[in-house]
């Protein structure tokens, strides 16, 4: 199964190289990683033994952010590095003040070994549902603790199927799982994983923090006035089609839409 996984990763990388010729997001994905080893070597020091946080995208960053910032508050001198898989996370948070931020190289044996060797993290913290075999295996071999926070599992995932032994092996490399619900606890225990705690969803901590420190925007306040306001975040085109229908039924409402991907073409789609 590992050879299929490796071929899949390499094929994914190859297809992204082609897509980068005409797709802006793929271009950011590819070119953002072009000099990643030089970036890592110049901005990190293995003697610092940083704590490594990895996030798939911006949503996962906001989900794990309360943990990162609580840790930084407790240990202000602690070096932290953050990696993203997706450009939508990296491009927005690349100048995040509390950490050095990088793209995560694709999950190959060579990349994982090189990355862990350069960074030399004292521990790694992943959020929600990214499971990379070679990175997890390399951390395991070097006896570096690996934690998953805000994890969530469902019965239809490959981990819990009769053919999912390879993916179950990936889970064994995690030192401890902090999961969102009891169902996830039960699923992990059903496949022999006992290093799991029910801790809830850290996204709620982030929402609570934002609610305690509300920000104001004169432009938004002027736009909303005294009208009812409908806010939709991280939307895709099918969502936006539903919003159009809702707006037609409620002409006196104001709508604030924050699409998952913002670009001229997509904005024109929404406006049309």
Name the residue range of residue 162's domain.
Answer: 2-208
What pLDDT is recorded for position 271? 75
Same domain membership, residue 133 and residue 78: yes
Separation of alpha carbons 210 and 66, rounded Å: 11
Same domain membership, residue 261 and residue 194: no
Same domain membership, residue 151 and residue 97: yes
What pLDDT is recorded for position 211? 74
DSSP character for 104? P
Q: What is the dihedral of CA 262, 266, 267, 272, to 10 degrees?
A: -160
SS3 content of the chain, % helix, strand, coil (to 5): 50, 15, 30
Check whether 249 has a pLDDT greater than 80. yes
Q: Considering the chain, what percentage of its residues have pLDDT values greater than 90?
A: 79
What pLDDT is recorded for position 145? 98
Check whether 262 has a pLDDT greater than 80. no
What pLDDT is recorded for position 137? 98
Same domain membership, residue 171 and residue 257: no
183-205 burial, b at 16+ Cβ within 10 Å, e below that, comes to ebbebbeeeebeebeeeebbbeb
> Tens of pLDDT along 62-108?
999 999 999 999 999 999 999 999 998 999 999 999 999 999 999 99
Check whether 166 has a pLDDT greater than 80. yes
Same domain membership, residue 137 and residue 226: no
Same domain membership, residue 159 and residue 132: yes
Report the CATH number at residue 73: 3.40.50.11720
What pLDDT is recorded for position 97? 94
Q: Which of 219, 213, 161 is nearest to 187 (CA)?
A: 161
Among residues 208, 234, 253, the one where a domain terminates is 208
Within 10 Å of residue 86's Cβ, how many Cβ atoms? 19
Q: Considering the chain, what percentage of its residues have pLDDT values greater than 70?
A: 100
Containing H/E element for 82?
strand 80-84
Same domain membership, residue 152 and residue 184: yes
What pLDDT is recorded for position 228? 94
Domain count across the chain: 2
Containing H/E element for 232?
strand 229-235
> Where is pLDDT greater, at 237 or 223?
223
Among residues 164, 191, 208, the one where a domain terminates is 208
Within 10 Å of residue 157's Cβ, how many Cβ atoms? 13
Same domain membership, residue 163 and residue 222: no
């Amino acid at each position: 199964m590992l050879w299929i996984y490796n071929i899949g990763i390499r094929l994914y990388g190859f297809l992204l190289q082609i897509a980068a010729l005409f797709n802006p997001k793929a271009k950011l994905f590819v070119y953002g990683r072009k000099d990643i080893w030089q970036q890592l070597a110049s901005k990190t020091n293995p003697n610092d033994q940083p704590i490594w946080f990895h996030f798939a995208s911006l949503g996962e960053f906001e989900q794990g952010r309360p943990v990162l910032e609580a840790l930084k508050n407790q240990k202000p001198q602690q070096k932290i590095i953050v990696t993203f898989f997706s450009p939508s996370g990296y491009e927005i948070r690349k100048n995040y003040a509390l950490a050095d931020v990088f793209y995560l190289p694709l999950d190959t044996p060579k990349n994982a070994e090189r990355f862990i060797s350069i960074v030399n993290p004292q521990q790694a913290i992943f959020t929600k549902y990214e499971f990379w075999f070679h990175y997890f295996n390399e951390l395991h071999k070097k006896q570096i603790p690996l934690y998953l926070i805000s994890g969530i599992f469902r019965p239809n995932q490959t981990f819990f199927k009769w053919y999912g032994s390879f993916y179950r092996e990936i889970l064994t490399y995690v030192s401890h799982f902090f999961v969102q619900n009891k169902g996830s606890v039960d699923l992990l225990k059903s496949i022999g994983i006992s290093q799991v705690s029910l801790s809830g969803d850290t996204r709620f901590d982030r929402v609570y923090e934002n609610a305690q420190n509300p920000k104001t925007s004169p432009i938004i306040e002027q736009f909303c006035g005294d009208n009812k306001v409908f806010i939709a975040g991280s939307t895709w085109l099918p969502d936006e089609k539903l919003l159009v229908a809702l707006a037609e039924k409620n002409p006196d409402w104001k709508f604030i839409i924050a699409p998952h991907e913002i670009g001229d073409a997509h904005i024109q789609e929404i406006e049309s």
